[in-house]
Amino acid sequence: MALLTRKRAILAKIESTYGQDPTPTATLDALLMSNLNVSPMEMTLAQRNNVKSYMGNNPNVLAAIYAKVSFDIEMAGSGTAGTAPAYDELLRACGMSATTLAAPSTGSATAGSATSMTLAAGASAVDGAYNGLTINLTGGGGAGQSAVIASYVGATKTATFTAPLATPAAAATAYTIPAQVVYQPVSSNLESVAFYCNVDSVKHLMLGARGTVSMKASAQGIPMWSFAFTGLYTTPSDSPIPAVTLTQYAAPLAINNQNTSGLNVSGFTGAVMSDFSIDLAAAVTFRSLPGGTESVQLTDRQPTGSITIEATPVSTGGATVAKDWWTLMKNVVLGPFSVTHGTVAGNKVKIDAPQQQLTEPSYGDKDGITMLTMKQTFVPLNGNDELTICFM
């Protein structure tokens, strides 16, 4: 019986114990994805170079065997603020932690500045409770601005921001920390995920998988996450393709002027953007050493990105929008990056970086307008905070 290419499905679920099957289900753990590529048997071969009296190959020795899978998923929220997106476990298996604020936290500050706020008495007493979360200033000094909380001290209720506010907060500044789920990189206690990959009636089980993720967005297009995982090999088996449930995936929005806002490129908020991309660039390694156990390890990450905006004059000199990108790059001036995609609570995705270095500028064209493309390197501020992905 022929296996139909169109009939494929993937289930994914976080492992509670590394390398042990958590038994994902078709109703809760199915992936709505595209560009699926299953490599069910990746091999590392040890060469045998025996000398013989005739020409020809020597059989090789199998040194390592593992599996890979990659696919794209549309960037969208869950549809409900404070609820993780349907691909939550994939982000976590790429070396990220998830922090959930299920209900908004509101109040009035008792003190404030450009770099921090002392939250209301009813705020959490737990250190780090709001780390990585976005706070909106809704009234009083600094109203209308948003910031990402870099650190939080529960005893004093002090929230310190990743980047200074343009207008300082003050005592009695009203604020809300919306219901949201935030993902940030971690360097320990890394999670893993199990995959059931059905190619029609053939099931490939991949355990202990870890991976990396990138994102690409272009004007008038759908922003996409691209995931790539490496996992432990298991022998395939015959199994009927599951009848999956995919209603947990919210519909995406196209990148455009109406849906995409809040662009901040190293403190410049007047940029007109056509494209941007981000790559977590996690280093994924399969290990099979004597005395140990087979595993997939994340050993480093070096997040990068690229952004294309309309080129600007160097100085105002009559221009309403100007920025000296050249001096900024030459002097290695680090600055924040932020962009929000989506307009309705539950389907907003906000990406922030406290420190980016811009490099390698190049000119291009779009619709007869000169465009400037710059590469981005995202640098940690306090550690494990170089990128924040917030669903709110």
Long-range Cβ pairs for the range 293-297 (8 Å, 24+): 293/19, 294/19, 294/66, 294/208, 294/232, 295/18, 295/19, 295/208, 295/232, 296/66, 296/192, 296/208, 296/209, 296/210, 296/230, 296/231, 296/232, 297/210
Task: Report residues of the chain scoring pLDDT below 50.
Answer: none
Q: Using DSSP, state whether 167 is helix, strand or coil.
A: coil
SS (H, E, C) 187-224: CCCCCCEEEEEEECCEEEEEEEEEEEEEEEEECCCCCE
Residue pair 351/286 in contact by the 8 Å Cβ criterion: no
Q: What is the DSSP string of 104-116?
A: -EEEE-SEE-SSE
For residue 161, give the amino acid letter.
Answer: F
Integer Cα distance of 350 and 178 in angstroms = 12
pTM for the complete prediction? 0.95
DSSP secondary-structure letter at 268? B
DSSP conformational letter for 251 = P
**Percent helix, strand and coil across the chain, each rounded to 5?**
5, 45, 50
| pLDDT tens, residue by residue, 268-290 | 999 999 999 999 999 999 999 99
288-304 per-position pLDDT tens digit: 999 999 999 999 999 99
**Whole-angstrom Cα distance, residue 18 to residue 4?**
32
Spans of all domains in the chain: 105-177
